[in-house]
Structures are given as structure tokens and as C-alpha cells.
Chains A and B, each alone.
Chain A
Amino acid sequence: MNKEIETKKEGRVLTKKDIWRAMRRHYLAISTYNYDSGFAATLVWELFPALSKIYQDDPDGLQASIDNQFKFYNCNPWMSPIITGATLAIEEKGKTKSLQAVQDLKTALMGPFSGIGDTLIWVLFPTVLGAIAASMGKHGNSVGMWIYLAVYILFFFLRSFLYNVGYDSGTALMTNMSDKLSALTDAVSVLGIAVIGAIVPSTINFQLALKFSQAGVTLTGQHILDQLMPGLLPVLLTALLYWMLKKGRKMTTLILMVIVIAMVGAALGILKA
């Protein structure tokens, strides 16, 4: 391994320290997000020390390079370090001649990598861990919440190495890696879908409050539904909302709609918690 690093060092100005510095600075992340340039400002801030070292005696090059980094960039912040790490490696070698390549790589990879990061970090893990933590927490047990916390702290440390992964592998391994990651995403989706199937009947929780009296026998509407299939109402509601989302309705509309249905249902005595 040492040999590999030695050969790589030729023609390079950045040290390991510089890479770690850029890595630390990338934690500005999405705090600079805006609608016309994404979080390009974060890239400028995180790469500035490294870039000014690369363009030590070329002020025009430095300016052109920073101008380039100010172009629209939006990526899942967990996956972004791989991309910026790789662009840094390219720019270090090619200087101003590589600016177009840097920009191309950024725009080509930010979509696929965001997809992977969003699905894993923002959707699947919070759902699985959150569902476990919340179902325990409802009964006053905090263990699930601590597990959730511990897993993400572990992820945070792993994430710090992604910068080096990107820088060391450059462009060559990028496509290969994005394949492996989508295999992982696909596999974890199976886990996620199974958990969603379990969450629907166990945590979506509302009942029919209607009662029918016939020939002295009182039947509750919920009892009848339960005999048809447990968790029928949650399934129907989820299916309805899914269909509306597919039709292009906004999430906030759905939230408001659900609140209104709940209020009206409760006021008319049809629904209860």
C-alpha cells in the first residue's frame, strides 16, 4: 500500500493534511443552500485552501477555478465528498485545462449519487430506525432512540473517509462504485419495503367509532372491519395517499387534508383514535 501512495504522490501538491482540511470544511454542507446555485458556496469554501495551493503562482487560474465552483451544485451531502474529492484530484493534475472536466464530472455524478444517498440516509435508515425507536418510545422505552443515535454517529465517522475515497480513486473507479452502491440500495430497499409493510398496520392508528344496534345486539363498525382484515383502514388510507402523490399532489396538501378529515371525522363521531 505504501508503494502505491509513493507513486501517486508524483506531480501532486496536496498533502494528506490538505485533504483532511477540505474534508473538515465540507461540513458546511447544505447550510448555504439556495434556489439558484444549490450549495455551490459550500464547495467554494471547502476547496479554497486546497485550490489556492494548487494555483500558487497563477492568480488568473485561481479565479477561473473559483468561478467554476460557483456554478449550480446540489447533491446529497453524505455523498458529495466522494465527488468533490475526485474533482480535487483531477484539478490538481490538470489545473485550468481540467475545469470543464471538473464541471462535467460534478453535474454527471451529483444526480445518481444523490439518489443513492437520499434513499439510504434520508429515507430508509430513518424509517427503519425511527419506526423501531418510536414503537419502543411509545411504551416509555428509550433503547430504540439510543440505537438510532449510535448508528448515525457511526455513520458520521465512516462518512469522513469518503473524501479520501474520492480523492484516491479519481474518476476511474467512479462508475464502478456507483454500480455497487445501487446494488446496495436495491438490496436495502427490500428491507425497507418489508418494514413499511409492517409500519402500516402497526403505527397508523385510527378506528371507526360507528356503532350499529340490531335486535338488541350492538356491533361496532371497527369490529366488523377487523374481521374482514386487521389494519384495513390504514391500508386503504395509505393506498389513497399513494395514489394522490402519483397524481402529483403535494405532500403538504396531503398533510392538511388528513388533518381536516381527522377533525371532521372526530366531530361527526365517525372516527376515533
Chain B
Amino acid sequence: MGFTIWQIILITVIAYIQRLDFETAQIIPANYMFWSCVVGAILGDFQMGLVVGATIQLMSLGVAALGGSSTPDYAVAAIISTAVAIGTGKGMAAGLALGVPVGMICIQLDVLLKILNSFITNKAHELADRRQYRKMRLLIPVMTALMPLESAVPVFIAVLFGKTVVTSILNFMPAWFTVGLNVAGGMLPAVGMAMLLTYMPLKKYGYWLLVGFALTAYLKMPILGVALIGAAGAIPTFMNYAKTNSNNNSVTNANGLTQEDMEDE
């Protein structure tokens, strides 16, 4: 791709900062569109970054890395997809063809680095036992510096060699593959929605699904409008819940004890 060396470095740094933010302060945690827009701006096509980012954002809706689990790295997918889409000049489909698979591969890197963290943490614990606190305090942030590599390294490789890989993929790619990729892009938000529904108190409030569905499917209401109606529904729910719970609030502590027994070796 016609990237200058500076563009490649900048994109890699963006990928590093993105993951660093995700692992630490989480100021821009699941806003993949922002990162693809930044990459788009670096490469001189903000608008392409926005559209690619929006597609990835939709794929990711509802998929969250909870409790230390590993999920596809959608930010990496967004960054690479944008870079390839602009760099090859072949648009979004070409970008997604490389970005989405690499994002999936990042799961493995994530697991690997978390295992490495295990070793470093144990080492730090040993140092603490020997009261070498200075060394311990220097060692712990090493993990913070290493973790973002799981995004930076794949992005660097993909942006550096992306053109040869993507053009060879595109040359092989039959028409149905491109169509299939677009269909997959349209279907994938369903995974996130299904995932999301498993976290939700559907038994209590499932009927709100019908409200949201009818408003959009039949009345074509934009999502912001549905969110406002949902907010109106949330207010009486909060009032009622607070009222009923002020009478009997000794339930929350019950499950804490069993957990403690499990974790305390």
C-alpha cells in the first residue's frame, strides 16, 4: 500500500495507545469508530474511517469481554480494515476481508499475554516476600507496557504486508466470497444481540423488546428515539424498585461467602 513509513508508525502507535487505554483508564473502551476515524484522518480519508468503523461497531454490539474473558479484538479489526480500505483503494469489503480475521486471531495473543502476566505476577510476589519492594514496584508496570503489544504487533504486520496479502486474497476471491462477507457483516450483530439478551432480566422486562421492535420495524423510528422512550420507561422502574427494596435489603450479602470459600486456597 502506498503508506509512508511515518503513516505505518503512527497507525501502530494508535493501535498501542488504543489497547493501553482499554487495559488501563478505559476512556475510549468500546468506541471502535473513534479509532478507525483517527486512522482515516491519518491516511487522509476520515469519511471512509467513519463508515468502516460503523460497520465494525455494529458487528461488535453486545459482545463484551467480561470477567477477564477474551473476545475478538474489534478495535484491531477497525484499524486494519480502515487502513486497507483506504490504502488499496478497493473500499470497505477489501478492508474487512483482512481486518476481521486478524481481529479474531488476536484472541489467541490475548490468552498468551495473560499467561505471561501470570509468570510476572508470581515473580513480583516472590520479590515482595523477600521484601525487595523497589524491584517489585518496577516489575508490575512491565505487564502494563507489554499487554498493548497484542494489538500493536498484528496491526504493524498487517499494515506493512497488508497490500501483498490483500491483493492476493482479492485475486483469488470469487464473487460469492465478497457477497458472503457482506452478508456476514449484516448477520453478525445478531450474535451480539443474542449475547446481550442473556445478561438482561428478560423475565421481568422482556416485553420492552416488543416496544423497541414495533417502533423500529413498523414505524421506522431512529434508535435515538427508541432510547428516549426506553428512558421514560426506566424512570418509573427505578422508583418502584427503590421502594420495594428499601423494605427487604439483606439479600445482597448471601452469595459473597461461597465465593470467598472458593477463592481462598
Q: Residues of A at under 8 Å CB distance from B?
A: 27-38, 40-42, 44-45, 48, 52, 59, 63, 66-67, 70-72, 74, 77-78, 103-104, 107-112, 114, 118-119, 121-123, 126-138, 140, 142, 145, 148-149, 152-153, 156, 175-176, 178-180, 182-184, 186-206, 229-231, 234-235, 237-238, 241-242, 244-246, 251-252, 254-255, 258-259, 261-267, 271-273
Q: Say whether A187 contacts B264, CB under 8 Å.
A: no
CB-CB < 8 A to B183: which residues of A?
206, 262-263, 265-266, 271-273
| Distance in angstroms between the alpha carbons of A156 and B191 in the assembled complex | 29
A190 with B23, Cβ < 8 A, contacts A41-B143, A148-B33, A198-B212 known: no
CB-CB < 8 A to B118: which residues of A?
34-37
Stretch at the interface among B1-9, B10-18, B196-204: B196-204
Q: Say whether A187 contacts B245, CB under 8 Å.
A: no
Q: List 10 A-B pairs, minimum CB-CB distance, nearest first.
A: A197-B212, A108-B256, A137-B54, A194-B230, A241-B194, A187-B238, A266-B180, A262-B184, A191-B230, A273-B182
Distance from B55 Cβ to chain A, minimum over Cβ atoms (Å): 7
| Distance in angstroms between the alpha carbons of A140 and B260 in the assembled complex | 50
| Distance in angstroms between the alpha carbons of A250 and B37 in the assembled complex | 31
Q: Say whether A104 contacts B260, CB under 8 Å.
A: yes
| Distance in angstroms between the alpha carbons of A264 and B179 in the assembled complex | 10
A265 in complex: contacting residue of B66, B180, B264, CB < 8 Å: B180
Q: Say whether B26 contacts A33, CB under 8 Å.
A: no
Please, could you name 11 A-B residue pairs with CB atoms under 8 Å apart, sorted by A? A28-B24, A32-B144, A104-B256, A135-B223, A186-B237, A187-B237, A190-B205, A194-B208, A197-B208, A262-B187, A266-B176
Interface residues on chain B, number (Cβ under 8 Å): 122
Q: Say whether A130 contacts B238, CB under 8 Å.
A: no
